[in-house]
Structure 1
Amino acid sequence: MNDVVRITRESSVLTITINRPERRNALNETVAQGIARGLDEAEADRQVRAVVLTGAGDKAFCAGGDLQLNADGTPFTIAADDPRHYVAQLFRRIQACRLPIIARVNGHALAGGFGLVCACDLAVACEDALIGVTEVKVGIFPMMILPLLMRVVPDRTLMEMCLTGETMTAGEAAQQRLVNYAVPASELDAKLDWLVARVTSKSPTGIRLGKQSLAKMREMNFDHALEYAQFMLANMTRTMDAREGFTAFAEKRAPVWTGE
């Protein structure tokens, strides 16, 4: 296990912690690979039903990319014709994960850090954490995270964030549904546990297939999405979890999920 990313499991929840508090949990290639490795471990373990992504300490969830100036003064090197950049690979890996991923936003989530929040399925944040995309302040635009922002952030809000580079608190972000919940820091873990429990008590098979379907439908036009939805629903009704769910409903009892 790489020490810049901690991977721990408690019961049915695997937690991935970016462990670079001295660098405000900034994202670099080693961190990206560590997060991807955590997702691999989670999906390989049939006992895991949810993933929590967070940062170490109480200052930052992730302050974005770890920018180090090159000799010519540029902040980083990226090849326009190479789709294998570690940030793109990480976001593809998160997109492909069939387990629900919940961001525990313990501190500021800026630039690529906010991209990570948007890549997760759900987010619980400290209400005073700052959220924003500040790239325009250093002469660039949040290009690598735009596909994720466009899924979560309303267009007018997205444009204002990108064009001004100004931040907002997570409390303000929650009012616009950019995060699901924003609470005082002292209540963060209690709210996270509450949300995780609501997710992990549901059918793991239904969630896995549902996440897979949603990812596919985002790439389709309306008619193709409806056709795919019908196909997937027919398949889902044949799973053991679906049979158990309907039986438990008829018998007025709590379902016992097998994840099959």
Structure 2
Amino acid sequence: MSEQVLIERRGAVQWIIINREERRNALNEDVVRTIDRGIKEAVEGGEVKAIVITGAGDKAFCAGADLAKGTKGFAFAVDFSRPKHYIVDLFKRLQECTLPVIARVNGHAMAGGFGLLCACDMAIAADDIRIGTTESKIGVTPMMILPYMLRVLPPRKLQEMCITGEQFSAREAYDWGLLNYLVPRAELDSKLDWLLARITDKSPTAIRLGKQAFNATRDMGLREALEYAQAMVPVMSSTNDAKEGMAAFQEKRAPNFTGT
């Protein structure tokens, strides 16, 4: 049996590929925990500068929970002896991840798969994919992924999605601001390479602190956010990467960032 998730290092990028094409890359506990582990390893290894999450094949990015007969879908299988559901563990891992996480949306993103897309930092999609929160069609609502959808989608459009369970086009998702880039399928990987090149040559320290600040201030009021930003400026400017970046600018040379 092939591995359900492939974790591959490609240069400075960690690729996490849901490898269940025959099940439209649906999620189960093993898949979710392996994605979680792949992100953890990338962060702790110290050599990775970005993470790409995608699905195998060209039909689906991720179809959400595996609801096949005899399969425990992650949205409904609850172990009451554990304080947290494993999908919550993954979403918290994504929230705390200090590396940029890019969704390569190679196919349809539905239900929990749509939530996974929303939890990534950036997304590039083929222009023929479709998205949706289809849970209402089977009598439930997308409870687990709602917090992330609320962060990236217009509230009224999200409410329509959750109530109707209908699917929407890639162009609509792009117009709502869900996708950073929308390209013809044949250009998906070249556009991804272009974006990764713009990320991996930057300061890992600046990205790390920047992601922390972005996530922290998003949850704050304006006054609290300004106080936080003021306190972070001297922290940021004291790092080796900040000093190297300033020196390189003044000396008109390319910086040599060390991530410290």
TM-score, normalization by structure 2? 0.93
* C-alpha deviation, 1:254, in angstroms: 2.2
Alignment check: 8 A CA contact 1:67 1:76 kept = no
* C-alpha deviation, 1:155, in angstroms: 1.2
Q: Which shifted more, 225-234 or 103-112?
A: 225-234
Residue by residue, what CA displacement relative to the aligned partner does 1:185-236 show, whole Å, maximum 9, x if unpaired?
Answer: 1111001101111111211100011112222223333222221221222101
Distance in 2 separating the partners of 1:68 and 1:56: 19
Task: State whether structure 2 residue 193 is matched by structure 1 residue 193.
Answer: yes
Q: Which shifted more, 213-222 or 24-33?
A: 213-222
Alignment check: 8 A CA contact 1:105 1:125 kept = yes
Specify the alignment match of 1:139 in structure 2.
139
Residue by residue, what CA displacement relative to the aligned partner does 1:142-164 show, whole Å, maximum 9, x if unpaired?
Answer: 11101000110011211121121
Q: Which shifted more, 80-89 or 46-55?
A: 80-89
Q: Give the counterpart letter for 2:65 in structure 1.
A: G
Distance in 1 separating the partners of 2:230 and 2:82: 36
TM-score, normalization by structure 1? 0.93
* C-alpha deviation, 1:70, in angstroms: 7.0
4+ residue runs over 4 A deviation: 68-71, 79-83
Residue by residue, what CA displacement relative to the aligned partner does 1:122-181 show, whole Å, maximum 9, x if unpaired?
Answer: 000111111111111111111110100011001121112112111112232112211111
Distance in 2 separating the partners of 1:168 and 1:249: 45
Alignment check: 8 A CA contact 1:134 1:165 kept = yes
Specify the alignment match of 1:92 in structure 2.
92
Listed as ranges, the gaps of 5+ residues in structure 2 are none
Alignment check: 8 A CA contact 2:40 2:93 kept = no
Alignment check: 8 A CA contact 1:69 1:76 kept = no
What is the RMSD of the two structures over their aligned residues, measured on CA atoms? 1.9
Task: State whether structure 2 residue 4 is matched by structure 1 residue 4.
Answer: yes
Specify the alignment match of 2:221 in structure 1.
221
Q: Give the counterpart letter for 2:179 in structure 1.
A: V
Distance in 2 separating the partners of 1:186 and 1:166: 27
Alignment check: 8 A CA contact 1:18 1:31 kept = yes
1:161-176 equivalence runs, <5 A: 161-176=161-176
Distance in 2 separating the partners of 1:83 and 1:149: 23
Listed as ranges, the gaps of 5+ residues in structure 1 are none
1:1-260 equivalence runs, <5 A: 3-68=3-68, 76-78=76-78, 83-260=83-260
Q: What number of residue pairs does the alignment pair up?
A: 256
User: SS where residue 16 of structure 1 aligns?
Assistant: strand
